[in-house]
């Protein structure tokens, strides 16, 4: 049985949504390693149904590592390259279901399948038929049985209570472990009992970092806390609440953001401004919010609640649109800022990953707010962030950081590399103060990892 693994000192995850393996590999070397990202979360690598929408990836037809994102050999090369760059690999793993199309066909890699029939992998006895709602689909999230035994949008629901299915899923995950992956994002975890996930975990060949996708729903019988015994869990309330504070409430309210808001315990939570589902469903900040989005990410990366996951998107104008692809729907290599947003490369976001790494373990201290949209805090002895999300500049103020005296790179406006800063330098005096003017909707961040 595998023991739970938690992220080490480089904990920040970046979700390179729908990137192909070749592009993930180059990004590990070019950006993720140098900027200090700890994990790259990649989209599902197994064979899937054909088609253009991004979500074909969530309809497995076999566990061959062969998809529109690349071959098994390319996947293996990507894992090796990322490891050489000091970046671990977290794999989005579809374990609750297989395909959902009523008609069968041929999968991406040529495997023949039908709904409830995946020759050599699963037969009809391996699926639930819950007998509800006329078509076996989930309707009522207030009913535990239905959520876990009926079908999520018609997707063939695996009988994860059986030893055969558990063993088959573990065999797939062990294959990924043999390729060197470091962890799994378990898709649709709410739709499987926590005990089924525990049983699958018990069949893994070595320890792996687990992040379970359990979307909190008020009043629902299935709660995210049921899953914390298996590993980490996504805290979906975080991104919605953070967006609300930025859009219509007050940053001052973030003073106790985290467990005090009813969230999962910090050590079990993975948090994000948005992910590939919420950025399509609304109610969160996304790349379209540009500067506000960067500020929200700066807050997330500076604030010690949970493990932060940065989103990196392809540009889309309708929900189903797939990533930039060729005529056969094979995903093209990523070209940042042309069809791909590459939020994780934005200066503010990329540099705040370094802030997160440099401030590990330091508590929040010296909180300041003006009652509204101007906040500031230190990570005791290691870093300081102030955000001014007012519509006006804040001038003539000094900030108490408690940091060692010296000259620090303002990593919001400049890059720190090889001991020099490409932007403004902030001078902290011997009493721990600095003076600065901060523009409307702007910020200043300094940390001991970027000190001149």
Q: List residues near Ca ion by CB under 5 A.
A: 96, 148, 157, 191
- Identified binder of ligand LAG from the candidate list 14, 42, 155, 309, rule CB under 6 A: 155
Residues 6+ apart with CB under 8 A from 7: 13, 38, 39, 88, 209, 307
CB of 150 to Ca ion, least distance (A): 8
Binding of ligand LAG at residue 277 (CB under 6 A)?
yes
Which DSSP letter does residue 264 get?
P
- Identified binder of ligand LAG from the candidate list 213, 341, 343, 410, rule CB under 6 A: 213
Size of the site for ligand LAG (CB under 6 A): 14
Buried b (16+ CB within 10 A) or exposed e, 249-277: ebbbebeebbeeeebbeeebbbbbbbbbe
Judge contact between 68 and 329, C-beta under 8 A.
yes
CB of 50 to ligand LAG, least distance (A): 12
Binding of ligand LAG at residue 95 (CB under 6 A)?
no
How far is it, in rounded angstroms, from Cα 408 to Cα 416? Answer: 9
- Select the residue whose beta carbon is closest to ligand LAG and give its number: 100
Residue 74 contact partner, candidates ligand LAG, Ca ion, none, CB within 5 to 8 A by sort of partner? none
How far is it, in rounded angstroms, from Cα 312 to Cα 224? Answer: 25
Residue 357 contact partner, candidates Ca ion, ligand LAG, none, CB within 5 to 8 A by sort of partner? none
Judge contact between 259 and 221, C-beta under 8 A.
no
CB atoms within 10 A of CB 423: 15
Annotation marks residue 277 as catalytic = no
Listed ranges 53-61, 259-267, 336-344, 433-441: which one lies at the site for ligand LAG (CB under 6 A) = 53-61
Residue 40 contact partner, candidates ligand LAG, Ca ion, none, CB within 5 to 8 A by sort of partner? none
Binding of ligand LAG at residue 278 (CB under 6 A)?
no
Give the active site residue among 18, 136, 157, 213: 213
Binding of ligand LAG at residue 273 (CB under 6 A)?
no
Judge contact between 213 and 190, C-beta under 8 A.
yes
How far is it, in rounded angstroms, from Cα 183 to Cα 207? Answer: 8
Residue 236 contact partner, candidates Ca ion, ligand LAG, none, CB within 5 to 8 A by sort of partner? none
CB of 201 to Ca ion, least distance (A): 16
Binding of ligand LAG at residue 55 (CB under 6 A)?
yes
Dihedral-angle region of residue 353 (phi above 0 means left; psi in -120 to 50 means alpha; beta otherwise) = alpha
Annotation marks residue 213 as catalytic = yes
Binding of ligand LAG at residue 281 (CB under 6 A)?
no
Say how far residue 39 (Cα) sits from the centre of its chain. Answer: 9
Q: Long-range contact list for 129-134, CB < 8 A, 24+ apart?
A: 130/157
Give the active site residue among 66, 126, 157, 187: 187
Query: Taking the C-alpha atoms of 215, 216, 222 and 223 in order, what is their torsion angle to the nearest 10 degrees?
Result: 120
Residue 440 contact partner, candidates Ca ion, ligand LAG, none, CB within 5 to 8 A by sort of partner? none
Residues near ligand LAG (CB under 6 A) are 55, 58-59, 94, 100-101, 152-155, 187-188, 213, 277
Catalytic center residues:
187, 213
């Amino acid at each position: 049985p595998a023991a739970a693994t938690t992220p080490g000192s480089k904990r920040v995850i970046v979700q390179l949504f729908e990137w192909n393996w070749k592009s993930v590999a180059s990004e590990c070397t070019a950006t993720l390693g140098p900027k200090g990202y700890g994990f790259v979360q990649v989209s599902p690598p197994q064979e899937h149904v054909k088609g253009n929408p991004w979500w074909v990836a969530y309809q497995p037809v076999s566990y061959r590592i062969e998809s529109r994102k690349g071959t098994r050999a390319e996947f293996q090369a990507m894992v090796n390259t990322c490891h050489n760059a000091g970046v671990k690999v977290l794999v989005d793993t579809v374990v609750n279901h297989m395909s959902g199309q009523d008609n069968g066909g041929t999968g991406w890699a040529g495997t023949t399948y039908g709904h409830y029939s995946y020759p050599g992998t699963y037969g009809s006895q391996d699926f639930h038929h819950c007998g509800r709602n006329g078509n076996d689909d989930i309707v009522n999230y207030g009913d535990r049985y239905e959520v876990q035994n009926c079908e999520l949008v018609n997707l063939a629901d695996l009988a994860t209570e059986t030893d055969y299915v558990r063993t088959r899923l573990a065999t797939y995950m062990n294959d990924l472990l043999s390729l060197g992956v470091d962890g799994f994002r378990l898709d649709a975890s709410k739709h499987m009992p926590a005990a089924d996930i525990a049983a699958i975990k018990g069949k893994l060949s070595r320890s792996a970092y687990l992040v379970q996708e359990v979307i909190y729903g008020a009043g629902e019988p299935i709660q995210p806390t049921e899953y914390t015994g298996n590993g980490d869990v996504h805290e979906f309330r975080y991104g919605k609440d953070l967006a609300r504070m930025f859009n219509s409430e007050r940053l001052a309210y973030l003073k106790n953001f985290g467990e005090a808001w009813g969230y999962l315990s910090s050590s079990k939570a993975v948090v994000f401004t948005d992910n590939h589902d919420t950025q399509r469903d609304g109610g969160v900040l996304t790349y379209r919010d540009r500067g506000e989005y960067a500020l929200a990410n700066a807050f997330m990366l500076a604030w010690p609640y949970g493990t932060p996951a940065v989103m990196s998107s392809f540009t889309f104008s309708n929900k189903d649109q797939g990533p930039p692809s060729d005529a056969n729907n094979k995903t093209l290599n990523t070209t940042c800022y042309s069809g791909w947003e590459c939020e994780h490369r934005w200066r503010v976001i990329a540099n705040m990953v370094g802030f997160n790494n440099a401030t590990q373990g330091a508590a929040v201290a010296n909180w300041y707010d003006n009652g509204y949209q101007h906040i500031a805090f230190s990570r005791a002895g290691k870093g300081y962030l102030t955000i001014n999300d007012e519509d006006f500049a804040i001038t003539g103020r000094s900030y108490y950081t408690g940091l060692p005296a010296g000259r620090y790179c303002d990593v919001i406006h400049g890059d720190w590399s090889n001991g020099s800063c490409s932007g403004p330098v902030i001078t902290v005096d011997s009493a721990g103060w600095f003076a600065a003017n901060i523009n409307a909707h702007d910020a200043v961040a300094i940390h001991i990892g970027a000190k001149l």
